[in-house]
Structure 1
Amino acid sequence: MRLYIAEKPSMAAEIAKCLPGPVSRKDGYIITGGGVVTWGYGHILRQAEPGEYDQKYEKWRVEDLPIIPQTWKLFVADSCKKQFDIIKKLIEQATEIVHAGDPDREGQLLIDEVLDYIDNQKPVRRILLNALDEQSIKKAITNLRDNQEFFNLKQSALARSRADWLIGMNLSRAYTLAAQQAGYRTTLPVGRVKTPTLALVVRRERELEAFKPADYFTVKADFQHSHVTFTAYWKPQDDQPGLDTEGRLADPVVTKGLLEKLAAATQPAVIVHCETTEKKDAQRLPLSLSTLQVMAGRKFGYDPQVVLDTAQKLYEKKLATYPRSDCEFLPESQHTDAPVILENLRGVAQAELAAWSDKADSLIKSRAWNDKKITAHHAIIPTVERCNFAALSDTEKNIYYLIAQAYIAQFYPVHVYDQTRAEIEHAGEKFTANGRIIKKLGWKEVYGADVEEKKEEDSGMLPAMKKGDQAQFVRASAEKKTTKPPGRFTAATLVAAMKEIHKYVKNPDLKKQLKDVAGIGTEATRATIIKELIERGFLREETKKKYLRPTEPAYLLIDALPDEMTYPDFTALWESVLHRMAEGSENLEAFLRQQAKFAAALCVKATQACIPLKGEYPCPRCRRGVLQPRTGKHGKFWGCSRYPACRASYDDKDNRPDIPARQNERTVT
């Protein structure tokens, strides 16, 4: 008997439909002519809590840290015990097992860990379902792979899961206890990805608080050549007086003098350099989940979690491929589906999609079709299923629109234009002019203004000219501008920041190294992490645009932690290691030893954390804690928040600690 184990019931039902009949539904599984299909509910197994390793860990104590499991334990989740028993019984009856978890790191682990838990020795195959339409499923069934090929992917998922446990369990306890000793009655959850993400928002808010607007001037001049007037922008020399630290002209007196100098010059301007180059912009790639979340946030104002949930619905309706993808490329073999998908889109009840599809050329093969860039999954695209656009919700229509738009763009030509750059010298000053002439609009016809980046110093159309030509100076002007503060994050732009984390890395050497790493977190978890930070009261959304602002506990947590946890450098490096582990070039045990060592070092740092005291009565004895009301066998008294490290205590007098002039403390026993 061949047994398919799917990640969730909906996927199991679709697989069963594509197997030979007859089909018979049972409690927890489906019998077909081509095998039995059962399912999980995400992770059937859960990691053990510290108290399940040793009862002493149920109480949070500094002296017990760090907690490093010698043998990792898993338990069947209470809500999944019945289904686990069904799966276990079916595995015992099976001759061959087909792993049908989602085609990603986490999907690989959650079926593998069940098989490992029951010590399965039977052969296991792997089915990769990037889409749930009938054609895709049947094709995947005929192309099963040996599950052992994905061993490294499982190791990578195990590494992430256990590293998250080591960091989360130990540092949450260590810094919560440190905060409590300073008088706070709160829990400070620390996460390998969650904490540096929160720190991005805290640091951005402090940038805004410290921001002071500064005035500067943009100087430009109009020149005439061959009866055509064009604009060029002034470029200061390195020793130019009046510049601010960013190289902008900030001195109004110097600005006025410059304009007067330009106007007074009697010699014509000279073209000292002119170069025209043909440039090509390749088609914008199809969408990964993060790209889709960012685009949907900008265009429709959608929260990243809404985008993920909607993409999942389109996947389950067989209209779009697997949503939790970090890939923006497509398998070369799927290019043959293009005529069918484009024909379907020509008939969709959405004017733009239909019109764009009608002009698309299915023979064009963009850079997106590249097997070398594909791992377990590919970019999110429409499936070969015809879409009843009118039956979709408004949110589903908008997300499907973005997915289809990106796919259609692959079948338009590259965008071609001539780029001209000219340098003009006048009165001893240099100016630059940039212009472009579009030769072939290509794929930008699909995106229009959405992809046109209007640059501040774009001179528009330029006349034909060459080096050594003269130009007539017409006029010069200076536009006063004011520096703008950085924008607050929204959930969508924070997802983009997590994906492009190299931009926020502190170490300049790492910044280069991590540019090719796919950020921190995964496509599936980024939205969830942001949502959790909001729900736990560390971030709040403000105004209609839902800008994210940190709360008081967020400042407390980030200020208490060392840079190793608040800057993304280490986390991004770990993500890089996890990617290499999935490729087979890193070792799980070596990585976990490093993580355990790191957690231990930060637990020590927690005992030395400088956390401002919270409370009316600082402890007179240790001066590092605050006095808090307690109840003992003799009634109410006041004791130090750092007990038992500090055993100072005082009687209560009118709801205040009675601190004698000579500090006659008694010891709490």
Structure 2
Amino acid sequence: MQSCLIDLTRVTCMDLYLCEKPKVGRALANILKANDRKEGYATDGGQIYVTWAVGHILEVFEPAEYDEKWKRWDVQHLPILPQQFQMKVKPSFKKQYDVVEKLLKKATTVYIATDIDREGESIARELMDRAGYWGTTYRVPIASLDPVSIREALNDIRPGEETYNLYMAAIGRTHADWLIGMNFSRLASLTAQAAGSRESLPVGRVLTAIVALVAFHDERRKNFVPHDYFTIDVIGNFAKGSLKANWIPPRSITDDGGRCVDQAYAQRLAAQLRSASITVVDVKTRETSKKPPLPFDMTSLQQYCANRWGYSASKTLKAAQELYETHTLITYPRSDCKYLPDSQFPQVQSILDALVEGDARLADKAALADSSKKPMAYNTSKVGAHHAIIPTTKVGDFKALPETEKNVFDAVRLRFIAQFCEDQVDKVTKINLEAAGQKFLASGKVPVSPGWAAVYGNDPEACDPKDDKDDEETDSTKQKLPLLEAGDQGTVSEALLQSKKTQPPKPFTESTLLGAMNNVSRFVDEPELKKILDEKDGIGTQATRAGILDNAFRYGYLQRKKKQIVATDKAYGMLKIVPPALASPGMTAGWEKQLDKIASGELSLEEFEQKIVNWMTKLVAAGKEKIANNDLGSAATDFAEKAEESNHQCFECSAPLKRIPGKNGYFWGCQDREKCGATFPDARGKPKKREKQPDNAPECPDCGKAMRMRTSKKGKGKGPSKFWGCSGFPECKSTMEFKG
């Protein structure tokens, strides 16, 4: 690696390709033959230069950086409304920013090669704006890091103005979320403090709506009133065999779900049925075909992995990102689409060949695929900025992958192979019967052809893992029925009367909560909002849902009870304080709709931001008035301080410390948040003072973030030793030898 000093004095014409991350830059540089690798960029020695960001290198100013008075959490200083939003360079990325800025100032043409979405556009454009670049701009729509996909993207370069409004939408989203987070987090926390609490109550546009979704679902469960209902199953014996049939009760004795609620009626019928005759009314048999499930988008992949292996949303996302960036074995993972462009269909056989070459054990399954058959998944009209997650043409050693990445890749590759297989075919028979003047139904299913299910070894758990085992087919559906005809007579040999209770909605799990976020319209009554949510595929995005869920746990709003996800008392308290609109999925969906209008040019950024400011100012004023009048409602009791005072003092200011549960375990936080707010690691229930960090901390070789000096645990016969660990842990686990 050469020095980061850039000599561009002789460069008169520069084509600069700006990527989102170093790994993308290296992959693109290989194709462009920019093989002269420098620190922070690569060049072909002539006109072509390739450089990269490290995600968002810039961030919005903190409140105190606009005005010193906003450093204090004081209700009199709300609302926080910067006259003009400003950006700053994240300290850990300063070196890379300097490289990018110098190249942008010399560039004559810029090719944006970041992710093809709102945030990807923002990552590039905000750097271009800060560097003062206003020259010719083009867009390179890279969807995958394999060589074939990169070459296709380079053959599909588009004018930069086509995607400029995506940047405007990203700015709108950033500013609106900043205003909501800064103002309502402070307002909610100050309201709780007025009630005697020391709790911090983070509030966010999508975060609060997700917490509310779980809390309201839990409330429906708590308030559910069960009632008894009764079923009767009979065994009918015929000359050609026996069957099990379920009673269909008359409407006059059923609830809205068609369940019998008249116990006396059911008991009388059960007595009459024993040894009664039973007659076949009609027999209906038909073949049903089931097409393979579409390829994955990120949410469906997270649901599959949660159900099959118990992975959290963030764990699946991280593994998929590794498969995309490090191994280049799958296409862009943060996709919200399950369809593929027609132009990619010619690559099918190459992908299948690469899969088999990387894992010979897959040959039998790949042989089931007919690569000449174009499945319904290939439909350009249904593809947006990203397409479905599928394997690439890259050959990779499947056995060498870490376990999590291996499982996620296996899910993606088998789902892809299934697209090119025949439909799964079953023969379904329904027999309507009559006994003691009542209707009964017997159902049975016989497999005809496994079709695509053979790719999964006909294992239902692998084909479609269920989070809820109660949803599986009943025994009576799986039975093999005798060959009966209308008019056949038999005898009831057994009538089983059962008393059951209606069940409350099941608690959310990782999978069902992701599904609820994706299909949140079913929790909304307003027709217009339901329509918006259906069009937007729920709240949050495929790229952000995992992180938002992690924050909800880290802030103490949600907790896991084995596989179940439930809301905490802190969540209920926060939801009683914030304006109801912030807890509504419809509100955040409405905002996304407005952002889409900015992206399409139907709405200006200025109009959108003014609407947000006006709306927010009114709500903040109402909240301030409640605090001034001591009108705290239930917050007065919900946030009465319950934690015991700590005997530990802050190492910085001597204020009390409080032990707080966090995303990666407990930590200690200074309770004088206005003047200090320092945090410290937890060491067996006690706060630990942080070691002073050296001034020469290197950058992480994998993600570019700053490394931190860390101390290893004592080994056998060894004392503790120091090493460099990435500050992005646990997302990045890179380490380096410490040479003190």
Q: Tell me, yes or no, if structure 1 residue 527 matches structure 2 residue 557.
A: no
- 3-state secondary structure, aligned to 2:203: coil
AA partner of residue 611 (structure 1) = S
The structure 2 residue matched to 1:342, chosen from 332, 342, 352, is 352
Equivalent in the alignment of 1:610: 633
Larger mean Cα displacement after TM superposition, 302-311 or 68-77 = 68-77
- 3-state secondary structure, aligned to 1:4: strand
The structure 1 residue matched to 2:270, chosen from 228, 243, 259, is 259
Q: Tell me, yes or no, if structure 1 residue 455 matches structure 2 residue 473.
A: yes
Q: 1:580 to 1:264 in 2, by over 3 A?
A: farther
The CA deviation at 1:454 is: 3.6
Unaligned runs of 5+ in 2: 1-13, 465-470, 627-631, 642-740
Q: For residues 406-433 of structure 1, give each alpha carbon's deviation from its aligned partner in whole angstroms, at most 9, with x where no partner exists.
A: 1111110122344444443433322333
- Whole-Å separation in 1 of the counterparts to 2:532 and 2:264: 44
The CA deviation at 1:465 is: 6.1
Equivalent in the alignment of 2:370: 361
- 3-state secondary structure, aligned to 1:613: helix
Q: For residues 42-63 of structure 1, give each alpha carbon's deviation from its aligned partner in whole angstroms, at most 9, with x where no partner exists.
A: 1122123333344433333434
AA partner of residue 394 (structure 1) = E
Equivalent in the alignment of 1:326: 336
Contact 2:280 2:431 in 1 (8 A): no
AA partner of residue 551 (structure 1) = T
Q: For residues 476-518 of structure 1, give each alpha carbon's deviation from its aligned partner in whole angstroms, at most 9, with x where no partner exists.
A: 3223434444443343433232222223335466445533431
Q: 1:244 to 1:615 in 2, by over 3 A?
A: closer
AA partner of residue 122 (structure 1) = G
Equivalent in the alignment of 1:491: 510
Q: 1:203 to 1:477 in 2, by over 3 A?
A: same
The CA deviation at 1:578 is: 3.5
Report matched runs for 1:143-542 at 5 Å: 143-210=156-223, 214-223=227-236, 227-240=240-253, 243=254, 246-263=257-274, 268-269=278-279, 271=281, 275-316=284-325, 317-349=327-359, 351=361, 353-447=362-456, 448=458, 449-450=460-461, 451=463, 454-456=472-474, 458=477, 460-462=479-481, 469-474=487-492, 475-507=494-526, 510-511=529-530, 514-542=533-561
- Whole-Å separation in 2 of the counterparts to 1:399 and 1:16: 28
Contact 1:283 1:366 in 2 (8 A): no
Contact 2:238 2:491 in 1 (8 A): no
- Whole-Å separation in 2 of the counterparts to 1:493 and 1:6: 35
- Whole-Å separation in 2 of the counterparts to 1:263 and 1:597: 72
Q: Tell me, yes or no, if structure 1 residue 142 matches structure 2 residue 155.
A: yes
Q: 1:63 to 1:32 in 2, by over 3 A?
A: same
- Whole-Å separation in 1 of the counterparts to 2:379 and 2:558: 40
The CA deviation at 1:259 is: 1.3
Contact 2:519 2:533 in 1 (8 A): no
- Whole-Å separation in 2 of the counterparts to 1:376 and 1:47: 26
AA partner of residue 160 (structure 2) = N
The CA deviation at 1:87 is: 1.8
Q: For residues 240-263 of structure 1, give each alpha carbon's deviation from its aligned partner in whole angstroms, at most 9, with x where no partner exists.
A: 1xx456543344433211212444
AA partner of residue 301 (structure 1) = G
The structure 2 residue matched to 1:31, chosen from 43, 51, 54, is 43
- Whole-Å separation in 1 of the counterparts to 2:334 and 2:79: 34
Q: 1:52 to 1:146 in 2, by over 3 A?
A: same
The CA deviation at 1:231 is: 2.9
AA partner of residue 355 (structure 2) = L
Contact 2:430 2:442 in 1 (8 A): yes
Contact 1:350 1:389 in 2 (8 A): no
The CA deviation at 1:471 is: 4.4
- Whole-Å separation in 1 of the counterparts to 2:155 and 2:258: 62
- Whole-Å separation in 1 of the counterparts to 2:83 and 2:285: 66
Q: 1:223 to 1:600 in 2, by over 3 A?
A: farther
AA partner of residue 437 (structure 2) = G
- Whole-Å separation in 2 of the counterparts to 1:509 and 1:470: 53
- Whole-Å separation in 1 of the counterparts to 2:139 and 2:145: 16
- Whole-Å separation in 1 of the counterparts to 2:639 and 2:200: 21
Larger mean Cα displacement after TM superposition, 107-116 or 53-62 = 53-62
The CA deviation at 1:303 is: 1.6
Larger mean Cα displacement after TM superposition, 91-100 or 413-422 = 413-422
Report matched runs for 1:562-601 at 5 Å: 562-579=579-596, 581-601=598-618
Unaligned runs of 5+ in 1: 619-669
Q: 1:516 to 1:460 in 2, by over 3 A?
A: farther
- Whole-Å separation in 1 of the counterparts to 2:27 and 2:557: 40
Q: 1:576 to 1:12 in 2, by over 3 A?
A: same
Contact 2:196 2:640 in 1 (8 A): no
Q: For residues 118-152 of structure 1, give each alpha carbon's deviation from its aligned partner in whole angstroms, at most 9, with x where no partner exists.
A: 44221111112222122222232232111211123
The CA deviation at 1:585 is: 4.6
Q: What is the Cα-based RMSD across aligned positions, in Å?
A: 2.9
AA partner of residue 478 (structure 1) = L
Equivalent in the alignment of 2:722: none
TM-score, normalised to structure 1, is: 0.83
**Equivalent residues, number:** 609
- Whole-Å separation in 2 of the counterparts to 1:385 and 1:347: 10
Report matched runs for 1:87-166 at 5 Å: 87-166=100-179
Contact 1:491 1:530 in 2 (8 A): no
Q: For residues 218-243 of structure 1, give each alpha carbon's deviation from its aligned partner in whole angstroms, at most 9, with x where no partner exists.
A: 22234456724333322223221xx4
- Whole-Å separation in 1 of the counterparts to 2:335 and 2:136: 28
Larger mean Cα displacement after TM superposition, 333-342 or 492-501 = 492-501
Q: 1:459 to 1:295 in 2, by over 3 A?
A: closer
Q: 1:567 to 1:615 in 2, by over 3 A?
A: closer
- Whole-Å separation in 1 of the counterparts to 2:576 and 2:265: 43
Contact 1:506 1:569 in 2 (8 A): no
Query: Post-superposition, which runs of at least 4 consecutive aligned residues in structure 1 deviate over 6 A?
Result: 615-618
Q: For residues 501-538 of structure 1, give each alpha carbon's deviation from its aligned partner in whole angstroms, at most 9, with x where no partner exists.
A: 22333546644553343111111111111111222233
Larger mean Cα displacement after TM superposition, 207-216 or 340-349 = 207-216
- Whole-Å separation in 1 of the counterparts to 2:529 and 2:412: 33
- Whole-Å separation in 1 of the counterparts to 2:157 and 2:239: 68
Equivalent in the alignment of 1:642: none
Contact 1:228 1:463 in 2 (8 A): yes
Q: For residues 540-588 of structure 1, give each alpha carbon's deviation from its aligned partner in whole angstroms, at most 9, with x where no partner exists.
A: 3344x4x334333222112323432223222233334434544455544
- Whole-Å separation in 2 of the counterparts to 1:9 and 1:247: 59
Q: 1:439 to 1:604 in 2, by over 3 A?
A: farther
TM-score, normalised to structure 2, is: 0.76
- Whole-Å separation in 2 of the counterparts to 1:518 and 1:97: 33
AA partner of residue 495 (structure 1) = L
The structure 2 residue matched to 1:83, chosen from 77, 82, 96, is 96
AA partner of residue 529 (structure 1) = I
AA partner of residue 335 (structure 2) = S
- 3-state secondary structure, aligned to 2:205: coil
Q: For residues 583-635 of structure 1, give each alpha carbon's deviation from its aligned partner in whole angstroms, at most 9, with x where no partner exists.
A: 455544443333333323432453445233259999xxxxxxxxxxxxxxxxx
- 3-state secondary structure, aligned to 2:234: strand
- Whole-Å separation in 1 of the counterparts to 2:242 and 2:604: 64
Q: Tell me, yes or no, if structure 1 residue 2 matches structure 2 residue 33.
A: no
Q: Percent identity?
A: 37
